[in-house]
Amino acid sequence: MRYPKRLSVLFGCLTALAISTTAQASYTQTRYPIVLAHGMLGFDSILGIDYWYGIPAALRRDGARVYVTQVSQLDTSEARGEQLLRQVEEIVAISGKPKVNLIGHSHGGPTVRYVAAVRPDLVASVTSVGAPHKGSKTADFIRNVPPGSAGETILAGIVNGLGGLINFLSGGDRMTTQNALGTLESLNSEGAARFNQRFPQGIPTTACGEGAYQVNGVRYYSWSGTSPLTNVLDISDGFLGATSLTFGFEANDGLVGRCSSRMGMVIRDNYRMNHLDEVNQVFGLTSIFETSPVSVYRQHANRLKNAGL
Ligand code: CA
């Protein structure tokens, strides 16, 4: 009589295991494809290295369909948004799904908001990660270079050259234009305020509140970090530590202030992450005292799935 009892316990365990494995296998299986949109000087991949380091593979492993897009490394939110919109239209045609879940990092945030504002019928959700919706103090600092000056021309030339190089290395469209001054125009506080007037969807109406959770049938979410220095082995921490000084006492991720990142439903605005940790860079070097950025994306895909998106 002992064996049947043990066997039933064993079968019970196996059934529980099978159920949990099945649940795990579809953990990130959203109804609509996930579309990733990079930030300033970003790309899809260079020499096989993802901008979203390890993130698309982790999302796909448990069921998500993921498309990684590439737009101009440097341009206005509107120009990048138009480029992204063309790609979203293609993805909708290819995938056979009527909508997409957009996720934008940094300048990718305003970029995905643009697409959702002009074509809400194609968008199930918009999520921004470390995005300067109300501008970046770093951009304001750079904007102190007098417009039209030789300094501005030289700086724009250098940055445009860098944008062109990244576009070339990532196999981007050769016709892609680089417009560093357009980026600066979109990411400084005054430019961001003008953009928000035209495209207010999901933007908090108070200085540091939450935005509408749903506008025109589109759900809005955001998260960000507030730790410029997170990993002594990461060469980018020095750069982000320096740029974070432009924020004074305001909590920031090195390039974007905590309040500026808030949009729609704020999932969290103070992860122990800097601006590059938010996309699991460089090469996965992030804080060992924080949830892996990859897990945060997986949890979000699960959140979208549970919301029927
Ligand atoms: Ca890092």
Give residue 79 CA to ligand 1 midpoint distance, Å.
29
Model pTM above 0.85: yes
- C-alpha span between 175 and 226 (Å, rounded): 36
Give residue 231 CA to ligand 1 midpoint distance, Å.
6
In b/e form, how buried is each residue of 183-205, taking b as 16+ CB within 10 angstroms?
bbbbbbbebbeebbeebebbbbe
Report the pLDDT value the prediction gives residue 25, as an integer from 0 to 100.
86
Report the pLDDT value the prediction gives residue 12, as an integer from 0 to 100.
54
Give residue 273 CA to ligand 1 midpoint distance, Å.
7
Report the pLDDT value the prediction gives residue 1, as an integer from 0 to 100.
42
- C-alpha span between 64 and 268 (Å, rounded): 23
Residues of the chain with pLDDT under 70: 1-23
Quickly count: other Cβ atoms within 10 Å of residue 118's Cβ.
15
- C-alpha span between 169 and 172 (Å, rounded): 8
Q: So which residues are the catalytic ones?
A: 106, 253, 275
Report the pLDDT value the prediction gives residue 9, as an integer from 0 to 100.
52
Report the pLDDT value the prediction gives residue 206, as an integer from 0 to 100.
96
| Residue 23 CB burial class (10 angstroms; 0-12, 13-18, ≥19) | exposed
